[in-house]
């Protein structure tokens, strides 16, 4: 299965939930700003991440997940962040 880039951002009003959301997202991607993560996920991983976050978030909290096509991810420009959004998926596996 191919992986897709997602930009995930959130606004959580309670500090304990805020830490739990950040901790959960660390398992799926890389923090690029305080409440912004980039994640490269397969469809099943995206479903799992959304399920985990809905169990943590309160109705007053906000979550935004933006899917990015390869072309869009390739046009992202950053300053101060060394990781590239242009990672090519491996077509082989070393065993």
- Summarised one tens digit per residue, pLDDT across range 74-90 is 777 777 666 665 655 55
Q: What CATH number does the domain containing 55 carry? A: 3.30.70.240
| Residue 93 resides in a domain | no
| Residue 95 resides in a domain | no
Confidence check: pLDDT of 93 > 70: no
Contact at 8 Å (CB) between 62 and 10?
yes
| Total count of domains within the chain | 1
Confidence of residue 62 (pLDDT cuts 50, 70, 90): very high
Task: Report angle CA 26, 69, 37 to the nearest 5 degrees.
Answer: 20
Instruction: Reduce the DSSP state of residue 47 to 3 states and report it.
Output: helix
Note the pTM of the prediction, 2 decimals. Answer: 0.80
- pLDDT tens-digit series, residues 12-48: 999 999 999 999 999 999 999 999 999 999 999 999 9
Its domain, for residue 55, covers: 4-74
H-only helix segments in the chain: 15-26, 43-56, 70-74
Contact at 8 Å (CB) between 1 and 43?
yes
| Residue 40 resides in a domain | yes
């Amino acid at each position: 299965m191919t992986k897709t880039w997602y930009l995930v951002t959130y606004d959580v009003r309670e500090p304990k939930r805020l830490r739990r959301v950040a901790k959960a997202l660390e398992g799926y991607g890389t923090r690029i700003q305080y409440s912004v993560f980039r994640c490269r996920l397969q469809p099943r991983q995206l479903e799992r991440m959304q399920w985990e976050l809905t169990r943590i978030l309160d109705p007053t909290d906000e979550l935004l997940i933006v899917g990015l096509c390869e072309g869009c991810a390739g046009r992202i420009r950053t300053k101060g962040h060394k990781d590239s959004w242009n990672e090519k998926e491996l077509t082989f596996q070393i065993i």
